[in-house]
A = this chain, B = another copy of it.
């Protein structure tokens, strides 16, 4: 499965290296579902893709939800009675529970412990925790750190603000020949977690760059949004756009070494589901196809019953199935340029199938046309030279009765989409086939 011509300028290997470099750049920023870290991240993405940054004010009602107050944090620490920072936000921004309310005070070890989160089974890792919708504060530390805390009086400081502000998200629309849209969405709200989801953010960025380099048939809409509340906000503010979305992909966790994974949309047999299955099947790479379930990332919102868009999810290892998930071990070592390159190549191929899929009508449907006199068939009877392209011609002719798309012909024949696409092109040139429009 090769990616279309535009990619000559951006090979998968190049893309993988550049995506990794961008992950390195964004990794230190402390993001959340609102605030300056998120805003700063979107601004840096603008140096790659001309995305528009939207701000939705706190308090805005979005379906059943309300846009929360904006959270920003300058510093956070716990000092022992000798004034030493035993927990220090400046060392790792996972140390503070995301969305912790401002707090200053002295607490006993016992009280402190009720605000600490650790991972006993991975004593060197810091967990990632959030408290978006409940006013509370807390720290996340390694289990070893916790075990070293002596009985003492501790000074706690969470120098955060939680105030009226806005929720930021990025949007990039790439118009194509058709108003039919492909939606590509990624959550951009997590702090220093490399795979979840700087990998998805950079994959979306480089797919956008890739598509920009050549004119496309379909229009593309890229969303860089905070998880859950961002998807809900966008859908709530853009209900009239939903009808134009023909296909969609949520990109999340695409940089680790795990198998390529496609999670089907709620519809299950949508064109995106079939395109992804086709590309993965012919990729020769280890992969998993999994059914929709109402858990995971923002496919939960795009596939809610009142929205029900044909939006699947592309990932590598599935969230929650590997120990590094939502811990400090999801770091720059956990993602690999080669994995990112592979994810880029597969997604570009899936989009290429969507771009090029079409349904045709055989203009000579009664018996086969004489391919030989058109130079499309071997002249001397005998074993086929290669057989491949002749078989593609025959399959396209046989099933182009107006009710089978090229992708469906690929499924039935077991042949690669690209070979059938090439056959259809040649047959159109010879006036043996025409595209069914509408």
A322 at interface by CB-CB < 8 Å: no
Closest B residue to A320 by beta carbon equals B383
Q: Is the CB of A366 within 8 A of B306?
A: yes
Interface residue from B133, B293, B397, B398 paired with A372 (Cβ < 8 Å): B133
Q: Is the CB of B306 within 8 A of A134?
A: no
A210 at interface by CB-CB < 8 Å: no
A394 at interface by CB-CB < 8 Å: yes
A362 at interface by CB-CB < 8 Å: yes
Q: Is the CB of B366 within 8 A of A130?
A: no
Cα–Cα, bound, A14→B9 (Å): 71
Closest B residue to A234 by beta carbon equals B367
A316 at interface by CB-CB < 8 Å: no
Q: Which of A129, A134, A304, A397 has the most CB of B within 10 A?
A: A304
Instruction: Check A130/B370 contact, CB under 8 A, given A294-B397, A294-B398.
Output: no
Interface residue from B232, B303, B367 paired with A304 (Cβ < 8 Å): B367
Q: Give the segment of A35-43, A145-153, A191-199, A373-381 that binds chain B.
A: A373-381
Q: Which residues of A in the span 229-246 have a Cβ within 8 Å of any Cβ on B?
A: 231-232, 235-236, 239
Interface residue from B127, B131, B367, B368 paired with A236 (Cβ < 8 Å): B367
Q: Is the CB of A413 within 8 A of B293?
A: yes
Q: Is the CB of A380 within 8 A of B130?
A: yes
Q: Is the CB of A398 within 8 A of B366?
A: no
Instruction: Check A134/B307 contact, CB under 8 A, given A367-B231, A395-B294.
Output: no
The secondary structure that dominates the A interface is loop
Q: Which residues of A in the span 389-431 have a Cβ within 8 Å of any Cβ on B?
A: 391, 394-395, 397-401, 413
Cα–Cα, bound, A301→B368 (Å): 6
Q: Is the CB of B97 within 8 A of A367?
A: no
Cα–Cα, bound, A127→B381 (Å): 10
What 1/0 mask marks residues of chain A from 180 to 205 whose CB sits below 8 Å from any chain B CB? 00000000000000000000000000
Q: Is the CB of A382 within 8 A of B293?
A: no
Interface residue from B239, B304, B379 paired with A131 (Cβ < 8 Å): B379
Instruction: Check A307/B64 contact, CB under 8 A, given A129-B380, A398-B266.
Output: no
Q: Is the CB of B399 within 8 A of A305?
A: yes
Closest B residue to A268 by beta carbon equals B412
- Give the chain B neighbours of A231 by CB distance below 8 A: 367
A59 at interface by CB-CB < 8 Å: no
Instruction: Check A369/B64 contact, CB under 8 A, given A295-B391, A382-B117, A398-B305.
Output: yes
Q: Is the CB of A398 within 8 A of B133?
A: no
Cα–Cα, bound, A401→B380 (Å): 55
- Give the chain B neighbours of A307 by CB distance below 8 A: 365-367
Q: Is the CB of A381 within 8 A of B131?
A: yes
- Can you offer 15 A-B residue contacts whose CB atoms are under 8 A? A97-B380, A117-B380, A128-B381, A130-B381, A131-B381, A293-B395, A293-B413, A300-B368, A304-B367, A304-B397, A305-B397, A305-B401, A306-B367, A307-B366, A320-B383
A364 at interface by CB-CB < 8 Å: yes
A334 at interface by CB-CB < 8 Å: no
Cα–Cα, bound, A293→B414 (Å): 10
Q: Is the CB of B294 within 8 A of A382?
A: no
Q: Is the CB of B326 within 8 A of A64?
A: no
